[in-house]
Every structure is written in structure tokens, then in C-alpha cells.
Structure 1
Amino acid sequence: MTKFRPKYITFDCYGTLTNFQMAEAAQKIYGGQLDPARMAQFVKNFAAYRLDEILGDWKPYNEVLHNAVERTCRRNGVAFRAEDARSIYETVPSWGPHRDVPAGLAKVAKEIPLVILSNAMNEQIMHNVEKLGAPFHAVFTAQQANAYKPRFKAFEYMFDMLGCNPEDVLHCSSSFRYDLMSAYDLGIKHKVWVNRGHEPANPYYEYTEIKDISGLPGVVGL
């Protein structure tokens, strides 16, 4: 993919733009109870249960986290407290961007409308978006779509709201499992993988790789 100029650049937010700190939040609560190896396993299980919790019908993200924390605690032999899960949920609005994000976004925002499609709650997302340092044409949430990514319904809601087709956008994410696999299946031909180290490369899904958002302007010829 070389210098494609889309109608919109669409983004995943948490992990791609916002520094996703769910593991750190869990470490703060449970690190005193678990040795490093067990804590690493706890974090791995926690990520897996969060994904499993969003694959069905939509439910509020505080319930997603409550259930995921409870299941992770049970699997790892740790006492579960509802207030711990709530405290993790309440940290989300405080998260800021990766250091490379504001300058890279600001450059492309001058030429191409930016859009976020996030597995977020309406009450939280704008606290994070306001820290990104660039204007966004639209911000869509799982709560609005009544579905979480990687479900197609979330992406289809975004297309309907923008009045565009998959081939009109460039979708940018650091995650294959949440974004780029579904984007591929839905016919989004232009995809960017931001290699934040969350997941291994998978060239099957036909993307352009960048190490961070500073590389995005070059993808669209800016």
C-alpha cells in the first residue's frame, strides 16, 4: 500500500493511540499477592477473559471487566473483590497517549478526517480522546454500536454513520485479534498495523506496518 488517500483514517483507540494500561492496573492490585511468574500468568489470563467477555451480546464495559477479573482470580487462586474490578474500570479515563501519537496525528489531521472506533463506554472515551492532541471528525463507541470489536457489527455501525464503504477508509490498529482480522474479512483493503509489541506479525492480513504513529503520514503521502 503506497500513498493511498482515504476518505477517513479510522483508528482503534486503546493500545493503538492511548497507552493501554490494563496490565499495570492489575499489577497494582494483585502484584503483592503473586510472584512475578504467577503475575505474568494472571495478566495473560486477564487479557484472554476480557476478549471472551466481549464476543457475545453487548454489555457495559464495567460488567466486562467485573466478569473478566472474577474469572481470572478464580483461575489463579486469588480472592476476588468487586471493588478491585471497579477500581480498574475507573482508571481508564486517566490514560494518556503513547508519546509518538500527538505529533503524528496532528500532521495527518490537517489533510484527512480522523475517526475512532473504540471498545469504549460513552462516559469514558472522551477523557482519553482529549489527551490525543488532534481533532477527530467522529468518535464511535461499542456502546453506540451495541457491539464490541472484533464483531463485524461494530465496524458496520461505523460505516453506516460515516456513509462510506470499507474500501473508502484506512484502518489503523495495533491489534489483529480486535481489529485487523475483522477489517480484512470485511473488505477494508487499506490497513496499517502499529507494531506496539502486543501481538506477532501476521502478513496474511495484508497491511502496512509502522513502528508508531510517526510513520502514518508517510503511508498517506504527507
Structure 2
Amino acid sequence: MAGAARRVYAERLSAEAMDNFVEAFRGYRLDEVLGAWKPFADVVQNSVERSCKRIGIQFKPEDAQRIYDEIPTWGPHPDVPAGLAKVAKEIPLVILSNSMKNLIMSNVEKLGAPFHTVITAEEVGTYKPLMKGFEYMLDTLGCGPEDITHVSSSFRYDLMPAYDLGIKSKVWVNRGHEPANPFYEYTEIKDIGGLAAAVGLEPVLKRA
């Protein structure tokens, strides 16, 4: 989302203003998903509008639409397909996404691994970090918190509510956009290439 915002506003904002916009946009997106469910297009538009107001530039609905329209075109990080494929041979993969049904499948197809279940915020009626989606996922899978490993690069949307729900096995993908927080009891990996080792499917390679 930050990259899309930078592309849309590249010719209108200075470097400092752009950084301020992206940070505001990040915070407002979180704030927008904490209330009653609404379409993700509204989440994006409201967040862009509030960000524009905060830094003092004109809001144009078409700018928010451009950001939203990018979502189905996004592919995974380069490390993801091979890393997921290794795990998928032994462990069913599940997606719990803050997305819409009409957006998510084009992204899933690019991940390069089979998925047992794909659950969207639209299906659940709430967005992460609210707990209802996690509870819905466990009910759908017919299992408890002790039966899954939750993998995410985000504390605020994923690992914090996973911790609160009693999910003991958690993996944090440290992509550099949130600081480490060991309180939440996770295994840290730098990318999905390390996931197979984190879940015990490969030996952990230690530095000499």
C-alpha cells in the first residue's frame, strides 16, 4: 500500500511530505478497519482522504481508486513461492486476509502453492486485528489455537491478536517495516525461505 501511494503521489509531494503521507496512510488504514466492516475500497478511500487532510493537500477520489485498483496486480515477495511450496507438501496452508473476495484470488494464484482454505475479511464481516476473523478461521478448520502456526510480518494486524487468542506457535517474517517485540513469543525468519525450518520440516542452519 505504501508503494502504491508513493507511485500515485510521486509528482506532487516532496520526499519529506511523501514520508509523512505514507506514515499517516498506514495509521489511518488501521484505524479504518477497527470499526464495523465496510468494503475495502472504502477503507482505502477514507484513509487516503484523512491522510491528505493531515498533510494539507487536496483529496481526489480518483487517487484512492488508483491505489485500490493496483491490489489485484500485486505479486508475492520473490522468496514466497518456493518457501510456501516446501511447507505445502507437509502442512495445509490457510490464508486469513484483510481483503475482498473479488480481489484475493488473483493474488493467491501468484503465490505458487496450493491452499487448503482462503478466508477474507468480507466473508467474516470484520478485519484483522479484530479477533472475530481468527475465531472464524479456527471454527472453519475445526481446530484450536494449539493446532496451528500463524505466520505474518505484522504484529499489529496478526501476531498481537494471535498471541491474545492463545496461538503459541507464531512466526514473524522480519521484512523491516515493524520493530521486533519478543514479548509476543515468536520465531523470527528473514523471509519465507526460512519457514520450512521454522516449522520443523528442515534443519535449522546455524552460523559458524
The reply on whether 1:154 has 2:137 as its aligned counterpart is no
Query: Which of 93, 109, 120 is the matching residue for 2:99?
Result: 120
Structure 2 gap segments, 5+ residues each: 202-208
- Aligned counterparts, 1:158-173, within 5 A: 158-173=137-152
SS across alignment from 2:112: coil
Matching residue of 1:91: 70
* Structure 1 residue 30 displacement after superposition: 1.4
User: Which whole-Å CA distance do the structure 2 matches of 1:49 and 1:56 have between them?
Assistant: 12
CA distance in structure 2 between the partners assigned to 1:83 and 1:220 by the alignment: 43
2:189 matches 1:210: yes
Percent identity among equivalent residues? 67
- Which residue of structure 2 aligns with residue 73 of structure 1? 52
What letter matches 1:142 in structure 2?
A
> Where does residue 39 of structure 2 map in the other structure?
60
* Secondary structure of 1:52 counterpart: helix
Q: Which amino acid aligns with 1:106?
A: A
Which amino acid is the alignment partner of residue 136 of structure 1?
A: F
For the aligned residues, what is the CA RMSD?
0.7
Residue 204 (structure 2) aligns with: none
User: Per the alignment, in what secondary structure is the counterpart of residue 176 of structure 2?
Assistant: coil
8 Å Cα contact 2:170/2:187 also seen in 1:
yes
CA offset at residue 218 of structure 1?
0.6
Question: Which of residues 96, 100, 104 is equivalent to 2:79?
Answer: 100
Given residue 142 of structure 2, which amino acid in structure 1 is its aligned partner?
G
Query: What do residues 43-63 of structure 1 show as CA deviations (whole Å, max 9, x unaligned)?
Result: 000000000000011110000
Aligned residue pairs: how many?
A: 201
Question: Following TM superposition, by how much is the alpha carbon of 1:23 offset from its aligned partner in structure 2, in angstroms?
Answer: 1.4
1:130-189 CA-partner distances (Å, limit 9, x unpaired): 000100000000000101000001101111111111111000000000000000000000
1:32 is displaced (CA, Å) by 1.3
1:200 paired with 2:200, answer no
Are 1:135 and 2:111 counterparts? no
Structure 2 CA distance for aligned equivalents of residues 35 and 135 of structure 1? 42
Give the whole-Å Cα distance in 1 for the aligned partners of 2:192 and 2:7: 28
**Counterpart amino acid of residue 206 in structure 1:** E
Give TM-score, length-normalised by structure 1.
0.89
Shift, 1:220, TM fit: 2.0
Aligned partner of residue 35 in structure 2, secondary structure: coil
1:187 aligns with 2:166: yes
> Partners of 1:24 and 1:104 in 2: how far apart?
24
Q: TM-score, normalised by structure 2?
A: 0.95
